[in-house]
Amino acid sequence: MAVLRLFRAIVDRLTGLPVEIRGQSMEPTLQSGARLIAARLSLWWGAVRRGDIVVVKPPTHVERLEIKRVLGLPHESISWQGGRIRVNSRLLEEP
């Protein structure tokens, strides 16, 4: 039984990352105070797409993790105009 627990702890550590949501920037999709397990291996199954939710270490605060939604992809131009997001000068449709 102890071996099984150890195996599960190792697998969990390698494949999942526990994250707690703080703040309202991801609402209504994710609520402040919610806890989730972020998949560490999800990039192995395909490229990041617009709208995906990712966990990142910001370059100015590498000791913490932040949850962000992907808005732009490589070689795209992102702008904020009139309270709306534009990708390559086209309005981004948001839910």
89 is catalytic: no
Find the catalytic residue in 25, 32, 42, 79.
25
Find the catalytic residue in 32, 42, 57, 68.
68
Spatial neighbors of 33 by CB under 8 A, at least 6 apart, are: 20, 21, 22
Secondary structure class of 91 (helix, strand, coil): strand
Report long-range pairs for 87-90 (Cβ below 8 Å, ≥24 apart). 87/50
25 is catalytic: yes
Q: Which of 86, 66, 64, 67 is nearest to 76 (CA)?
A: 86
Catalytic residue ranges: 25, 68
